[in-house]
Amino acid sequence: MTSIEIKEALKNQFGKSVMENDELPENQVEVKGEEWLDIATFMKNDPKLSFDQLECITGIDTGEEGPLQSHYNLHSMEHRHKIEIVINHDKNEPKVPSIEKLWRIGDWFERETYDMFGIEYIGHRDLRRILCPDDWEGWPLRKDYEPQESFHGIVVPKIKEEEGWE
Amino acid sequence: MGVLENKFQDNVVVASLDKILGWARSTSPWYFQFGLACCAIEMMASAASRHDLERIGMMPRSSPRQADVMIVAGTVTMKMALRVKKLYEQMADPKYVISMGSCATSGGPYWQHGYHVLKGVDLVVPVDVYVPGCPPRPEALIEGLLKLQEKIQTERPLTRKLA
């Protein structure tokens, strides 16, 4: 199936939970965060879609004006088609249902996105930081991230763009 | 050796215990085998047959309890910095640290925007020898190790230190 056909199939099943967004490229579909677990279950189990592989989960911070996004790259080995799902989050309270039980690889993908962007995956059984230390402050890949000044008594020297070492 | 000269047979060498200790320590500094990044590959190459660190008396030990020298080979992240410190504390005295490569020395390519990288391992543990390079070739590391051996040789562990 082409991306447009996949989008139509999702629209027939879920109606308004699949959004119309003309700014997105052809291979991306934006869906509502609250409905995401149902949509994902359908996408995995429906014999015509049969998305049996989750390739990647990425977070994107689109800056001050824009939202925080989760991107899911799905692929079907059976039908050899793929699609990218986009979910927009409220920046102050980014929450989305976890699909970790559906595709097991989602476990670490969601932990990584949580680590870097602070997006909370509700229903994840072990949502801890995966790369940064457990007691790290802040979400490093967000645009407004400020590195912490000290970590366990180790002072981090601040470096200014033009002046060099402070 | 002054009064002791020519008092013994030819196969007896007389020296101060201090010097002998320094000589013995400097010619067998076993290093702690752990690598953090690409510098570790060069460290492995130094230990392998072409450069062969064992010919200068150095062999890798996998436990900090048995090691004398810690070669910090690679990027030290904040998460790893706490572990490096703990490993250094676990080593028995006398202990030495070699900072290998620009990452361990100053943060290297991460010195400005790497929020997660320690800007020099000397913020956590005392460093004896810095080896520059990114990564240093085995020859450079061996040069650093020989410098360290010179340093160990000049130490006088039994001489009372002036306060």
Each residue's pLDDT tens digit, B86-142: 999 999 988 999 999 999 998 888 887 788 888 889 889 999 999 999 999 999 999
Chain B residues with a Cβ under 8 Å from any Cβ in chain A: 78-79, 81-82, 111-112, 115-116, 118-119, 123-124
pTM for the model stands at 0.82
- When the pLDDT of each residue in chain B is averaged and rounded to a whole number, the result is 88
Residues of chain B neighbouring A132 (CB-CB closer than 8 A): 79, 116
Second-level CATH architecture of A3-136: 2-Layer Sandwich (3.30)
Contact A140 B112 (CB under 8 A): no
Whether the complex's predicted ipTM is more than 0.85 is answered with no
Amino acid found at A112: E
Residue B162 makes CB contacts below 8 A (sequence gap 6+) with none
State the nearest Cα–Cα gap between A137 and chain B, in angstroms: 11
- In the predicted model, what is the mean pLDDT of residues B22-41? 90
pLDDT above 60: residue A165:
no
Q: Where are the domains of chain A?
A: 3-136
Burial pattern B90-110, b for ≥16 Cβ within 10 A else e, equals ebeeebbbbbbbbbbbbbbeb
Among chain A residues, the shortest Cα distance to B115 is held by A147
How does pLDDT run across A98-150, given as a tens digit for each residue?
998 899 999 999 999 999 999 999 988 989 999 988 888 888 888 888 888 78
